[in-house]
Amino acid sequence: MEKDGLLFENKTRYTKKEYEKFLKSYREEHQLKENLYTFGMIIFWTICMFLAFKTNEIFLGIAIIIGLIIFTLIKILKPAKDMQRAEENEKLSGNFFSIYKFYNNHLKVENAEGKAQLYYYRLYSIVETKTNYYIYVSRNSAYIVSKMSFTKGNDKDFSKFIKRKLLIKYKNRK
């Protein structure tokens, strides 16, 4: 038994539909920053390339062109490969469950991949949508917690609780 007592419990089933909702939320959260970064890098290296050619640094200009091509390919191909890998993931078969147990200072996650204990102050952020909570442990990794799947406590009380725990790390996207 935990010394600070179980406050909320949730058993979420991972499905392709839920994962697509997560990806949509993730894109809304990060796409603008990512696009601005990519655009800025391309502009910067294009200017460097022109300066290299203008000062007759042909090899440097060619190296920058090669670098720009590689950078652009990575920015295009990596997300597509990540998406393909995610779609092939066993989690999306509908037979993968995660059990979330929320305590006063931490949460525990249990699933077929193992167990984890996470302290709220170490979480990257939490995003609340109409149907789910996305608990980010890093910028690119999150747990999906379905609002409909609380087995102890309820969605409204959990929302109040998690807002207090994460303060500025909490984002409402309903």
C-alpha atoms less than 13 angstroms from C-alpha of 4 in its C-beta half-sphere: 10
Q: What is the pLDDT of residue 88?
A: 66
Q: What is the pLDDT of residue 90?
A: 60
The pTM assigned to this predicted structure is 0.71
Give per-residue pLDDT as tens, 19-65.
778 777 777 777 788 888 889 999 999 999 999 999 999 999 999 99
Separation between Cα atoms, residue 167 and residue 45, nearest integer Å:
39
Q: What is the pLDDT of residue 1?
A: 46
Check whether residue 81 and residue 99 sit in a common domain.
no
Q: What is the pLDDT of residue 73?
A: 87
Check whether residue 104 and residue 151 sit in a common domain.
yes
Q: Is 3 part of any domain?
A: no
Number of structural domains found in the chain: 2
Check whether residue 23 and residue 42 sit in a common domain.
yes
E strand intervals along 16-160? 93-102, 106-111, 114-119, 125-128, 132-138, 141-146, 150-152
The owner of tokens 């993730």 is: 26
All residue ranges of the chain with pLDDT < 70 are: 1-4, 83, 86-95
What's 125's domain CATH number? 2.30.29
Check whether residue 96 and residue 168 sit in a common domain.
yes
Check whether residue 152 and residue 167 sit in a common domain.
yes
Separation between Cα atoms, residue 82 and residue 96, nearest integer Å:
19
Q: What is the pLDDT of residue 130?
A: 92
Check whether residue 66 and residue 118 sit in a common domain.
no
Separation between Cα atoms, residue 124 and residue 170, nearest integer Å:
9
Q: What is the pLDDT of residue 118?
A: 95
Residue ranges making up the domain that contains 162 = 8-15+90-172
